[in-house]
């Protein structure tokens, strides 16, 4: 492939995950000659790579799926209320086949760089194989949780046993039977993985730096006829979902949190009321207070109550205490769990509280901490992602006047306008850029809106003879100020909040809460307002 035989696209989409597949379908339906460049061998994005045992979505399957095509939502059969990774991967393959998307996807094609040619108003997109493709528009569907955060622990390469990374889990089955396994990381991934690995391993040692807040919930197979009944009501389900702040009107980790905000305040609750909350609601009850997200003292009180609720499940008091979080609830993404705390009652599970002495290094035979050495046959790293910006900063993106996106985001901050476009980078649409509702909502609801907005925008430009659209720096600044004002009254901005939401999980990353928290309907209203005003905040040329 050379430049000449790949020129002539109207749009290049980067990534064949949830966002990229819909972007391809949508732009192709609009008559744009579109190509998707995907580094992997298949569709799926994050849901292709994160195939670790226990991987599952924390939003219900019938809502964590495309709503744009009634055929696909009626034909696909979900087997469980909240889908496991293999089923989501299979679903995305089904959609790719059903909508005949594969013919326009180039697999094994990693984008390494892209430069905006100002004279021609086109992007030149370069691949690892040395090819260059050009198109006036680029849609970066590169994912918000697609780039693993390397744990950067000394000696990792020296380990003589099996090293496994949850975000690039092998395709073949990994048998951990009879092995001494260590897991590093207790975010959503660790909380899903740990109960499953505990059942297989001879011994499991969990290395925990920050205890998780989890929301135990039953995930179950659909009853006979239940899915058909839901499908018969899909129009209502989708309408409710669209109007819900978190883009999921049924059960999800977000909707549980959303519900909490409607409860009475903890600070004025009597001890009896507090105890009743955990008697009746368990660890979810400990957190279900209206002031918890807005008042750090209430949040700290809820953390203590949470610890009491954990101690009712975990038999060893020292382990229960070690599993009690000290960071504010809400700072990290809530986690729907399946038997997480019960796992620590097993004889073959040990918890190492790294707050009492951190990991020093990985040795050829295990992990050395300040508290002692642990001999292991396998180490599983569940250490998170360089979220939101990580994928685009790994591509050398050069906009107007030689401006580098990676430099801009690392020096100024992860700024974008409307969570879609960055000033200085014309005709580049980033699905779920910083400032979009994605981190605090059902990602699929959010991305469908993004893709549709982008499709309509390109249609408008072509219909009205414009060749470029570009976010204006002032509009971008105002949007970022607006997103910051929304989270200012919450515990999300507390200095002890370190998470992928604000870049605090990646050393050296510019700190800023990267989501839009006024909810999806309000976000949609603002995006409509921008369009109605002739793409206010953008320069069209
Ligand atoms: P998270 O939520 O970022 O969790 C990563 C975990 O790994 C977290 O417990 C970290 O502790 C821990 N971690 C990271 N680096 C280290 C080192 N060096 N040593 C010890 N522990 C470490 O990522 P997940 O993959 O679990 O979930 C990401 C999202 O995927 C989730 O929010 C859902 O949206 C789906 P820390 O908290 O930094 O102290």
Residue 186 CA: nearest ligand 1 atom is: 9
In the chain, what is the greatest distance between 2 CA atoms, to the nearest angstrom? Answer: 75
Alpha-carbon dihedral sign for residues 350, 354, 355, 360: positive
Residue whose pair of structure tokens reads 């460049």 in the numeric block: 37
Half-sphere exposure (CA, 13 Å, Cβ side) for 401? 3
| Residues 375 and 159 sit within 8 Å (Cβ to Cβ) | no
For residue 459, with 0-12 CB atoms within 10 Å meaning exposed, 13-18 middle and 19 or more buried, which class applies? Answer: middle
Does the pLDDT value for residue 517 go beyond 90? yes
C-beta 505 within 6 A of ligand 1: yes
| Residues 524 and 458 sit within 8 Å (Cβ to Cβ) | no
DSSP secondary structure of 282-311: HHHHHH--TTTTT-HHHHHHHHHHHHHHHH
Q: Give the distance (Å) from ligand 1 centre to CA of residue 355.
A: 15
320-375 pLDDT per residue, tens: 999 999 999 999 988 888 999 999 999 999 999 999 999 999 999 999 999 999 99
C-beta 187 within 6 A of ligand 1: yes
411-442 pLDDT per residue, tens: 999 999 999 999 999 999 999 999 999 998 99
Phi, psi of 244 (to 5 degrees): -85, 140
Phi, psi of 533 (to 5 degrees): -90, 20
| Residues 228 and 79 sit within 8 Å (Cβ to Cβ) | no
- Choose which residue among 54, 183, 209, 498 to substitute to test ligand 1 binding: the one with the highest number of ligand atoms within 8 A of its C-beta: 209
Phi, psi of 506 (to 5 degrees): -115, 115
Q: What is the pTM of this model?
A: 0.96
C-beta 369 within 6 A of ligand 1: no
- Choose which residue among 148, 166, 188 to substitute to test ligand 1 binding: the one with the highest number of ligand atoms within 8 A of its C-beta: 188
Q: Give the distance (Å) from ligand 1 centre to CA of residue 208.
A: 10
Name the residue with the closest Cα to ligand 1, atom 31.
Answer: 188
DSSP H/E element including 469: strand 469-471
Residue 190 CA: nearest ligand 1 atom is: 26
C-beta 210 within 6 A of ligand 1: yes
Instruction: Report CA 484 to chain centroid distance, whole Å.
Output: 20
**CATH number for the domain formed by residue range(s) 156-224+248-381:** 3.50.50.60
> CA dihedral in degrees (267, 271, 273, 278; nearest 10)?
100
C-beta 211 within 6 A of ligand 1: no
Residue extents of the structural domains in the chain: 156-224+248-381
Q: So what's the pLDDT on residue 1?
A: 42
Give the Å distances, CA to CA, from 412 to 386, 406, 415, 499: 17, 10, 8, 19
86-117 pLDDT per residue, tens: 999 999 999 999 999 999 999 999 999 999 99
232-249 pLDDT per residue, tens: 999 999 999 999 999 999
For residue 362, give the nearest of 194, 166, 66, 164 by alpha carbon. 164
- In whole angstroms, give the CA distance from residue 164 to residue 157: 12
At 217, the pLDDT band (50, 70, 90 cuts) reads confident
Pairing of strands 132-135, 111-117: unpaired
pLDDT, the chain, mean: 96
């Amino acid at each position: 492939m050379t430049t000449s035989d790949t020129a002539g696209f109207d749009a290049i989409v980067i990534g064949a995950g949830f966002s990229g597949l819909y972007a391809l379908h949508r732009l192709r339906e609009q008559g744009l000659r579109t190509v998707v460049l995907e580094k992997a061998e298949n569709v799926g994005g994050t849901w292709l790579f994160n195939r670790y045992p226990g991987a599952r979505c924390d939003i219900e399957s019938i809502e964590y799926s495309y709503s744009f095509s009634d055929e696909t939502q009626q034909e696909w059969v979900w087997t469980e209320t909240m889908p496991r990774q293999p089923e989501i991967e299979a679903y995305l393959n089904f959609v790719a086949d059903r909508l005949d998307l594969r013919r326009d996807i180039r697999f094994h094609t990693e984008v390494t760089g892209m430069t905006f040619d100002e004279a021609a108003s086109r992007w030149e997109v370069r691949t690892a194989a040395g090819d260059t493709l050009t198109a006036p528009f680029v849609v970066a569907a590169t994912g918000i949780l697609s780039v693993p955060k390397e744990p950067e622990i000394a000696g990792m390469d020296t380990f003589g046993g099996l090293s496994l990374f949850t975000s690039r889990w092998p395709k073949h089955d990994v048998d951990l039977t009879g092995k001494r396994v260590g897991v590093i990381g207790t975010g959503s991934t660790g909380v899903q993985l740990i109960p499953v690995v505990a059942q297989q391993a001879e011994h499991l040692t969990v290395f925990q730096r920050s205890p998780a807040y989890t929301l135990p919930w039953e995930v179950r197979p659909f009853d006979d006829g239940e899915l058909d009944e839901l499908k018969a009501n899909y129009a209502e389900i989708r309408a409710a979902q669209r109007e819900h702040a978190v883009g999921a009107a049924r059960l999800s980790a977000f909707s549980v949190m959303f519900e909490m905000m409607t409860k009475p305040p903890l600070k004025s609750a009597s001890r009896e009321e507090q105890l009743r909350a955990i008697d009746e609601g368990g660890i979810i009850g400990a957190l279900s207070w209206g002031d918890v997200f807005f008042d750090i003292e209430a949040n700290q009180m809820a953390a203590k109550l949470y610890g009491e609720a954990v101690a009712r499940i975990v038999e060893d008091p020292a382990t229960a205490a070690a599993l009690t979080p000290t960071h504010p609830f809400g700072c990290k993404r809530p986690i729907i769990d399946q038997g997480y705390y019960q796992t620590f009652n097993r004889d073959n599970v040990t918890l190492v509280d790294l707050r009492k002495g951190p990991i020093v290094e990985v040795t050829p035979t295990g992990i050395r901490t300040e508290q002692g050495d642990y001999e292991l046959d396998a180490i599983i790293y569940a250490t998170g992602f360089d979220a939101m910006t990580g994928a685009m900063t790994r591509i050398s993106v050069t906009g107007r006047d030689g401006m580098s996106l990676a430099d801009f985001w690392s020096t100024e901050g992860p700024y974008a306008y409307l969570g879609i476009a960055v000033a200085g980078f014309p005709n580049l649409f980033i699905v779920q850029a910083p400032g979009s509702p994605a981190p605090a909502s059902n990602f699929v609801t959010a991305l469908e809106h993004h893709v549709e907005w982008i499709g309509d925008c390109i249609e408008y430009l072509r219909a009205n003879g414009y060749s470029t659209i570009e976010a204006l720096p002032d509009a971008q600044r105002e949007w970022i100020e607006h997103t910051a004002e929304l989270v200012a009254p919450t515990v999300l901005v507390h200095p002890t909040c370190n998470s992928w939401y604000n870049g605090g999980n990646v050393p050296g990353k510019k700190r800023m809460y990267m989501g839009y928290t006024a909810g999806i309907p309000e976000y949609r209203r603002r995006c409509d307002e921008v369009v109605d005003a002739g793409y206010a905040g953008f320069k069209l040329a």
